[in-house]
Structure 1
């Protein structure tokens, strides 16, 4: 091999070594002369979001917000209000009770702070229905009147349904709240079932239980997530 050829080969090797040195300083390291694609490990996404980020609480629907406000403003539970309402009607029996916002006073120039109330239907022995309103904060009766437009057949039907019920509203409520802990917002005699609304205060959903008035068994359960 001639001296000129040996010199040319040494120059080629020097250039190759220099090229490898430059590549080694790059962010992605590959072997010199290796044409495979560099592999970079992808960072796993954090289940908690970016550092320092705050998780926004789930927004309540309009109905959920209404239930929350109504129940948090209430001081008198359903059973105490029902007892007060029934006591005002001779030999009365509870047919329905529901937690609502009180109506604005007639002639009031502007509505004031909303006040919760229990609106109940209490039936006399002959089936005559009375509407009794009980303030859900003070526990006092704010109105008690005979419902208008009751036909004799309607009175007999209501009296008959109450008489045929072997399960009391208190027993029906216990069955419902044993199934799901929460605040009772309504109890209603609907044909042959007691319909009980239970609001869970961790999510403000409303669950309705239909409980057979003769057997005391739950025949229907419906969750309202709106």
Structure 2
């Protein structure tokens, strides 16, 4: 069984901390530089209310765009993949202001983590979910996010990003990285309330925005 961050052996923890702090801070400063130098334009920001919490969703490949645009987070709770190689991400999201991390993802105590996330959403937290994560298939919307939205009664907000110039890396999701001093457009979709009866209709609407249509 792969080793988890929250149950790493004592001898592993010093190396894990070094790895997390070095890579976590490097990524933090990367996104700080992007946020300060990139020209960011917003489409649909009027769709969001400061008095409402949301479930923000986007494809996994746009993680770097999301961190570059939404650089700081207030009253957020995130489920984060719990395996060792994600230790830097735990530090990064803390640096970005995420107040609570729930260790879990599909196949890794996902059911328990989902129940905890729903509870936090009901209490007023917002969250972010990539519905094709943590390992694909790419740009395929898994139904878990719809279940979470329906149970918590918190609206889903789909996001789409366009970055110029940018580069992508060779990975399952073809992750897209905006470059400093470039342009980043963020499209914020209309918040959607999910019920157990409208799963199919909601899926089509979400995919339309997430695919930039």
Normalising by the residue count of structure 2, what TM-score does the alignment of the two structures yield? 0.21
Computing the radius of gyration over CA atoms, which structure comes out larger, 1 or 2?
Answer: 1
> Of Structure 1 and Structure 2, which has the larger fraction of its residues in strand?
1
Normalising by the residue count of structure 1, what TM-score does the alignment of the two structures yield? 0.21
Relative contact order higher in (CA < 8 Å, ≥ 6 apart):
2
> Of Structure 1 and Structure 2, which has the larger fraction of its residues in helix?
2
